[in-house]
């Protein structure tokens, strides 16, 4: 079930039976010469939307702009400041909680978001602690590539050149979902260098084509379909598990 394709009355009725929701969250940023700018929000959205087709879960609108200041040297990248991002996550969670949602599960697609999402959760926990009351709802962060079994599958598919940004696994997921948007390029070097992440100018100088440790040429729609099928199945199990 997709929240944005539902009416308020339908959501009210669902809350009487199930008070959990999945929020895909990511970033709009460069992903090398062949990766779509929306890769980091598309991947969790693709997986969550696929999961709801066969499992009784509710998926909210995708939070598609994240903390990506280090990519701003590449056209098309959009970033929130960490403080803005933290405030926005808090408002999303509070909006859902006041309506009765008790389990709010953020399925993340961008490593650069992790610290800020966890800080947003800490702000919400602190509100309840300082007020001396129970929070009344639970928050969970899960990176899609850390869903049970997904990392092992990616390691089997890409034993070399997986890297940490513009990876063949994330690009394969978007290729499966959007086969008409597949790009190709010649890479030099074939596997990109790795290193630290700092400000945008430093990032562009270190990683001139935008990749980090990866060889996206290994991506394929077929591999993406295999990743999505597993991730969608275990997402439903993870949401149902006690937390």
Mean pLDDT across 21-38: 98
Strand segments (E) across 1-113 = 20-25, 103-108
Please determine, for residue 135, whether its predicted confidence score (pLDDT) is greater than 90: no
At 136 the pLDDT is 86
What percentage of the chain reaches a pLDDT higher than 90? Answer: 95
At 217 the pLDDT is 97
Please determine, for residue 35, whether its predicted confidence score (pLDDT) is greater than 80: yes
Burial category of 135 from C-beta neighbours within 10 Å (exposed 0-12, middle 13-18, buried 19 and up): middle
> Which pairs from 87-90 meet CB under 8 Å and 24+ separation?
87/120, 88/63, 89/25, 89/63, 89/116, 89/117, 89/120, 89/121, 90/120, 90/123, 90/124
Please determine, for residue 195, whether its predicted confidence score (pLDDT) is greater than 80: yes
Provide the CATH number for the domain around residue 186.
3.40.50.10310
What residue spans of 35-78 are helical by DSSP H? 39-54
Mean pLDDT across 196-208: 96
Mean pLDDT of the chain: 96
At residue 89 the predicted structure's pLDDT band, cuts being 50, 70 and 90, is very high
Q: Which residues contact 187 (CB under 8 A, 6 or more apart)?
A: 33, 209, 211, 215, 216, 217
Q: Which domain holds residue 121?
A: 3-240
Instruction: Name the token pair of 52.
Output: 């709801």
At 9 the pLDDT is 98
171-195: b or e for each residue (b if 16 or more CB lie within 10 Å)?
A: bbbbbbbeeeebeeeebeeebbeee
Q: Which residues contact 9 (CB under 8 A, 6 or more apart)?
A: none
Q: Total structural domains in the chain?
A: 1
At 98 the pLDDT is 95
Order across the sheet with 103-108: list the strands.
Answer: 20-25, 103-108, 138-143
DSSP 126-156: HHHHHHTS---SEEEEEEGGGSTTHHHHHHH
At 80 the pLDDT is 98
At residue 68 the predicted structure's pLDDT band, cuts being 50, 70 and 90, is very high
Q: What's the rounded Cα separation, in Å, for the pair 129 and 120?
A: 14
At 70 the pLDDT is 97
Mean pLDDT across 91-111: 97
Instruction: Summarize pLDDT for 149-182 with one digit per residue, the tens.
Output: 999 999 999 999 999 999 999 999 999 999 999 9
At 29 the pLDDT is 98
């Amino acid at each position: 079930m997709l929240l944005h394709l539902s009416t308020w009355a339908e959501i009210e009725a669902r809350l009487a039976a199930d008070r959990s929701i999945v929020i895909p969250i990511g970033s709009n940023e460069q992903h090398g010469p062949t990766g779509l700018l929306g890769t980091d929000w598309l991947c969790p959205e693709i997986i969550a939307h696929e999961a709801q087709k066969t499992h009784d879960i509710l998926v909210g609108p995708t939070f598609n702009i994240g903390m990506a200041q280090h990519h701003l040297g590449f056209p098309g990248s959009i970033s929130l400041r960490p403080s803005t991002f933290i405030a926005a996550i808090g408002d999303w969670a509070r909006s859902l909680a006041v309506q009765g949602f008790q389990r709010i599960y953020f399925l993340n697609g961008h490593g650069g978001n992790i610290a800020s999402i966890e800080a947003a959760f800490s702000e919400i926990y602190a509100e309840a602690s300082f007020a001396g009351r129970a929070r009344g709802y639970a928050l969970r962060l899960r990176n899609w590539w850390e869903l049970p079994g997904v990392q092992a599958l990616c390691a089997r598919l890409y034993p070399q050149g997986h890297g940490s940004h513009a990876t063949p696994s994330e690009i394969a997921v978007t290729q499966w979902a959007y086969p008409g948007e597949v790009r190709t390029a010649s890479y030099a070097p074939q596997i990109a260098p790795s290193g630290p992440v700092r400000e945008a100018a430093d990032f562009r100088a270190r990683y001139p084509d935008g990749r980090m440790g990866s060889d996206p040429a290994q991506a394929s729609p077929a591999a993406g379909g295999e990743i999505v099928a597993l991730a969608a199945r275990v997402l439903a199990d993870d949401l149902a598990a006690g937390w």
